[in-house]
C-alpha cells in the first residue's frame, strides 16, 4: 500500500459519519472521478454531487443505524453509487439499498469482533435504470401482480413468444395473489413478457431462509395476510426478470460475515440472498472487455487483489475509485 492510500484512508476514518458526504476534499474527489468516468463538464458533475449529497444525508439522518456506521463504509457506499449514476433519493421505488449491519472482522476460529458498516446495492429499480442507461433495454413496465379474481391467460404468439391476457377482477378486501408478470421493451421495438407464479416465490423464500439461517426468510414473504407483500413482489419480479440478461455492472457481493440490521433491511425490501452466493445467479456473462464495470473503492488494508476493472486516463491507481 502506498503512502497516498494510507493518508487517504486515515483521513476518511478520522471524519464523523455525517461529515463524509459534506467534506470538501471528498466532494472534490467525487466530482473529479465523476468527470473522468463520464467525460462530463465540471458543472454537471458538481450538480450530481450536490443533489446526491443531500439525498444521502437525508437517508443517514433518518436512520440511527446508518449514523453508527464506520466513515470508511459510508465513503465506499457514497462513491459506489456515484459510479452507478443512481440516486439515493428514498421512496417506494428507490434506486439504492443502503443497508446498515454488523460485520465480523475477526480471523477464523477467533472470538467475534463486530463493527457496524453500511452496504450499498442497486435495488431492482436501480438495476432497471442502469440497463436503460447502457442501452440494453428501452424500458420495463411496472410489474403486474395477478390475483385469483383476475382474468389471466398465458399463450404463445405466431413467433413462439410468451404473451399474456390479463384483466383486473373484483378482488375484494383480501385478494389472493397467484403470480406476476412484466413487459420488457427492447431497443429494437420488440418486447418480451416474463411471468412468475407462487412456486417461484417459494424458491425465493427458501433461498432467503437459507441465507438468514436461524432468523428465517425475509418477513415480507408472509407479511400480507400470510402472503408476499405486494410491493416486495413487484421488486422481486423486476429483479428476476433480468436474470437471463447479461450483466451490465458488477456489484460487490455482501460479505458472508455481514449481518444486515433487520428493521432497516426489511423496510427497504432488501433480500440478502440476492446479493450473496446463496441464490443461484443465472445471468449471462459478457466478455470482460464488454462488461460495464466500475472499480470498487478501498476497503480495509488487508483486502485481496481486486478484480480487473475499466481504467480511465488520468486516474491514479492508488486512489479510491468509483
Q: Where are the domains of the chain?
A: 1-123+249-322, 137-244
* C-alpha grid cell, residue 247: 450483466
Residue 264 clears pLDDT 50, i.e. is over it: yes
**For 179-222, what is each residue's pLDDT tens digit?**
999 999 999 999 999 999 999 999 999 988 887 777 788 888 99
pLDDT tens per residue, range 19-76: 888 988 999 999 999 999 999 999 999 999 999 999 999 999 888 889 999 999 999 9
Letter string b/e over residues 95-108, b meaning 16 or more CB atoms within 10 A of that residue's CB: bbbbbbbbbbeeee
Q: Which grid coordinates are listed for 47?
A: 450538480
Torsion on CA atoms 52, 54, 55, 57, rounded to nearest 10 = 120
- Percentage, residues of the chain above pLDDT 90: 50
Phi, psi of 180, rounded to the nearest 5 degrees: -155, 165
Question: What pLDDT, on the 0 to 100 scale, is given for residue 271?
Answer: 60
Q: For residue 308, is pLDDT > 90?
A: no
Q: Considering the chain, what is the average pLDDT of its residues?
A: 80
Residue 317 DSSP one-character state: T
pTM: 0.78
Structure confidence at residue 274 (pLDDT) = 54
Number of Cβ within 10 Å of residue 66's Cβ equals: 23
Cβ atoms of 63 and 77 closer than 8 Å: no
Query: CA-CA distance, 143 to 124, in Å (whole number)?
Result: 11
pLDDT tier for residue 260 given thresholds of 50, 70 and 90: confident
Amino acid at each position: 500500500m502506498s503512502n497516498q492510500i494510507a493518508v487517504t484512508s486515515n483521513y476518511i476514518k478520522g471524519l464523523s459519519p455525517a461529515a463524509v458526504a459534506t467534506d470538501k476534499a471528498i466532494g472534490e474527489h467525487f466530482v473529479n472521478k465523476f468527470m473522468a468516468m463520464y467525460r462530463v463538464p465540471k458543472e454537471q458533475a458538481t450538480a450530481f454531487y450536490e443533489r446526491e449529497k443531500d439525498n444521502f444525508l437525508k437517508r443517514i439522518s433518518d436512520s440511527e443505524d446508518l449514523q453508527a456506521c464506520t466513515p470508511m463504509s459510508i465513503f465506499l457506499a457514497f462513491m459506489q453509487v456515484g459510479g452507478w449514476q443512481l440516486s439515493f433519493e428514498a421512496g417506494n421505488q428507490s434506486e439504492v439499498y443502503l443497508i446498515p449491519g454488523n460485520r465480523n472482522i475477526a480471523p477464523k476460529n477467533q472470538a467475534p469482533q463486530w463493527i457496524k458498516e453500511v452496504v450499498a446495492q442497486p435495488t431492482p429499480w436501480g438495476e432497471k435504470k442502469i440497463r436503460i442507461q447502457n442501452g440494453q433495454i428501452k424500458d420495463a413496465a411496472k410489474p403486474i401482480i395477478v390475483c385469483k379474481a383476475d382474468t389471466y391467460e398465458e399463450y404463445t404468439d405466431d413467433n413462439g413468444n410468451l404473451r399474456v391476457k390479463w384483466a383486473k377482477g373484483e378482488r375484494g378486501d383480501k385478494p389472493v395473489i397467484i403470480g406476476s408478470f412484466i413487459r420488457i421493451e427492447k431497443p429494437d421495438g420488440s418486447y418480451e413478457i416474463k411471468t412468475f407464479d407462487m412456486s417461484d416465490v417459494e424458491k425465493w423464500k427458501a433461498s432467503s431462509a437459507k441465507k438468514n439461517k436461524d432468523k428465517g426468510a425475509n418477513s415480507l414473504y408472509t407479511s400480507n395476510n400470510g402472503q408476499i407483500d405486494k410491493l416486495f413482489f413487484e421488486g422481486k419480479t423486476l429483479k428476476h426478470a433480468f436474470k437471463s440478461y447479461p450483466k451490465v455492472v458488477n456489484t460487490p457481493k455482501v460479505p458472508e460475515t455481514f449481518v444486515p440490521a433487520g428493521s432497516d433491511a426489511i423496510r427497504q425490501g432488501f433480500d440478502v440472498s440476492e446479493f450473496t452466493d446463496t441464490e443461484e445467479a443465472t445471468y449471462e456473462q459478457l466478455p470482460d472487455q464488454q462488461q460495464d464495470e466500475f472499480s470498487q473503492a478501498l476497503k480495509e488494508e488487508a483486502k485481496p487483489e481486486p478484480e480487473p476493472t475499466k481504467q480511465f486516463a488520468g486516474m491514479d491507481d492508488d486512489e479510491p475509485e468509483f
